[in-house]
Amino acid sequence: MAWQFFVVCMAAAAADILWRRVPNIWLAAWFLTGLLLSGLFPLQIPIVRETGEVRVFSGAAGSAAAYLARGAAASLLFYPAWRLGMAGAGDVKLFGLAAAWLGIPAFGACFLYSLLLGALASFLKMLFHRSLSERISYFLAWIRQCFSQKKLISYSPEGAWGRRETIPYSAAFLGGLALWLWL
């Protein structure tokens, strides 16, 4: 099932690169497809490379419930990043989808790999656009403002970072998934 999800991530990355958004209808269709597959083939989802996974639920209904729980947990975990303007809504939904399809351990590994790839891509983009010092200054000013106001405030100005300032993170997640598959 990981290879099928790789195709899902390829489509999401292509849409994110071209349009800077992943259509909700695609995400919903992929989510429902995974839910159906988890019920039809309960032993194939989640994909976990380690042995000894404890399964609380059994059968098709239990597998579907676990699928829904993983997707909801990941979406809730990353929701604050979207609210603070640090991630796109499509990225958060893709993370929930990935956790549901792959399972939490595999999603965690893919996410860590994608963080490294995303950081590298962002660093190179800032060097290319000569905006590294500007972005570091902005980040440090944001941290100071959060401490002075004693609360987390939105990172991006009105959520309006443009193409020049951001990277399509679903492409970095695709790279993280590819690393996890081949390592």
Average pLDDT over the chain, rounded to an integer: 86
What pLDDT sits at residue 44? Answer: 47
- Domain assignments of the chain as residue spans, ordered by start: 2-182
3-state helix, strand, coil in the chain (%, to 5): 75, 0, 25
Q: How confident is the model at residue 3 (pLDDT cuts 50, 70, 90)?
A: confident
> What separation in angstroms does the CA of 23 have from each of 71, 86, 93, 181?
18, 19, 11, 25
What pLDDT sits at residue 86? Answer: 86
pLDDT tens, residue by residue, 31-49: 999 888 887 776 444 444 4
Using CA atoms, how far apart are residues 8 and 51, in angstroms rounded to an integer? 26
pLDDT tens, residue by residue, 124-134: 999 998 989 98
Q: How confident is the model at residue 71 (pLDDT cuts 50, 70, 90)?
A: very high
**pLDDT at residue 74 above 60?**
yes
The secondary structure element, H or E, covering residue 27 is helix 24-40
Of 44-53, 110-119, 174-183, the one with minimum mean pLDDT is 44-53
What pLDDT sits at residue 154? Answer: 85
What pLDDT sits at residue 180? Answer: 95
Compute the average pLDDT of residues 88-98. 94
Q: How confident is the model at residue 158 (pLDDT cuts 50, 70, 90)?
A: low
CB-based burial of residue 45 (10 Å sphere; 0-12 exposed, 13-18 middle, 19+ buried)? buried
Q: Are 87 and 114 in contact (CB under 8 A)?
A: no
**CB neighbourhood size of 103 (10 A):** 22
**pLDDT at residue 51 above 60?**
no
